[in-house]
Amino acid sequence: ARQGTPSGYRILNETDLRDYLAGIAAVAAQLGGPADRWSITEVGDGNLNLVFIVKGTSGGLAVKQALPYVRLVGESWPLPLSRAHFEHLALTHQGRLAPGLVPAIIHHDPALALTAMELLEPHIIMRKGLVAGAIYPAFVDHITTFMARTLFFSSDLALSAAAKKEAIASFAGNHALCKITEDLIFTDPYRSAEQNRWTSPWLDATAADIRADLDLHVAVSRLKLQFLSRAEALIHGDLHTGSIMVTETETKVIDPEFAFYGPMGFDVGAVLANLLMAYFASVGHERSPGEREAFESWVLSTVDQVWSGFAGKFLELWRSESTGDAYPLSLFPGEAGAARLEAERQAYMARLFQDAVGFTAAKIIRRILGLAHNIDFELIADERRRASCEARALRLARTLMVETASFTTIEAVTRAARELRQW
Ligand code: SR1
Ligand code: MG
């Protein structure tokens, strides 16, 4: 055991994992064959954890183990292993609320901070597909169902006040992961911080402008306050395209270790932001003019449909499954009451859209000027071209964050993105 970690915890290597898994009946049954014939490879390329792919003679598994520190930075940045518990809890809820859209859990070991899940094959991380210019026709329907169902059914619109308060409490301990978001997304990119980085001197002036932009600092501080204080629903908390695995026909949302009760717009904004970054990065990647046009037009129409599809599904759930303590139906009798309630639902969605626009902007800025970057931009080899893609994305983000109220439709957002693409 390591100092500061719970007894029973040890970091596993491939050999330890083989011995450990061989003793778990459900795992051995899933894999098939003798344990010494299983292939085990550590493949984690995320910022925090170990991820092993285990293949037996009849099946496979993905095994995720939390490290007691941030993998991206090293042991100098400790991080609680309890995140594996919250991830397991969130996955369990999401599997119930959005069946088929998250991986099945085969085994969880709280002491080892380890979860064995169904192996998603031939799925790939969506971000990698987007960098290669791939189009995912089923994605919109799946991600809008995932967000509408997980957010609606964990909100006050669906839960009793007591159940909601219990649910908030069950995730309250995940504050170390929230703190990462509070610092890396809502604070550091707007000040001089040791961990900030950007990948070319072409962005120095833009980064300095952002550090001096008080309108932007007010806007991001309002978003941070929302993130800190608005326990609206069980959010995934890190719903970028690296947390989504896809094929042409399937979508699986993975990695909810940042889950807690927070503002719904944070998840919606994460999806929109990452699609918009794929759009701005597209011109930096090698592809034929025809492929580029098809990809960019698909991405922008996907941005439109992610919001409209999510809003439509969320509203439909509210109209048909309103079992929560918010908006008691007895207060809205008759036709006049129903009309008034429907108007209120539309106003609620308009407010949620504004939240999502602000969070979209915050998620873009952090990926370009903060600690954690993404391959959409980073794999653009030509430094100047990469900086130009990033500068366009930053320009959109600044406008979205400071002039949020002027974006009342998703089409206004995609129009602004298209104009900046030509800039
Ligand atoms: C130090 S962790 C950096 C980022 O990785 C995760 O994927 C989250 O996005 C977090 O902000
Ligand atoms: Mg992750």
Q: Residues 161-215: pLDDT tens digits?
A: 999 999 999 999 999 999 999 999 999 999 999 999 999 999 999 999 999 999 9
pLDDT tens digits for range 297-327:
999 999 999 999 999 999 999 999 999 999 9
- Does residue 66 register a pLDDT over 90? yes
Ligand 1 midpoint to CA 258 (Å): 9
Judge if pTM exceeds 0.95. Answer: yes
**Could you tell me if 371 and 188 are in contact, meaning their C-beta atoms sit under 8 angstroms apart?**
yes
Q: Ligand 1, from 64, 238, 274: best to mutate by most atoms within 8 Å of Cβ?
A: 238
Q: What is the pLDDT of residue 159?
A: 98
Which run of H or E residues covers position 55? strand 49-55
Q: How confident is the model at residue 4 (pLDDT cuts 50, 70, 90)?
A: low
Pocket lined around ligand 1, Cβ cut-off 6 Å: 47-48, 70, 72, 180-181, 184, 238, 372
**Ligand 1, atom 8, residue with closest C-alpha:** 238
Q: State which H helix or E strand residue 344 sits in.
A: helix 334-369
Bridge-partner residues for 110, per DSSP? none
User: Which domains does the chain possess?
Assistant: 14-118 (3.30.200.20), 124-422 (3.90.1200.10)
How much is the pLDDT for 2? 63
Closest CA to 48 of 84, 17, 23: 84
The pick from 48, 174, 194, 274 for probing ligand 1's pocket by mutation, whose C-beta has the most ligand atoms within 8 angstroms, reads 48
Widest distance between CA atoms in the chain: 70
Beta bridge partners of 51: 64
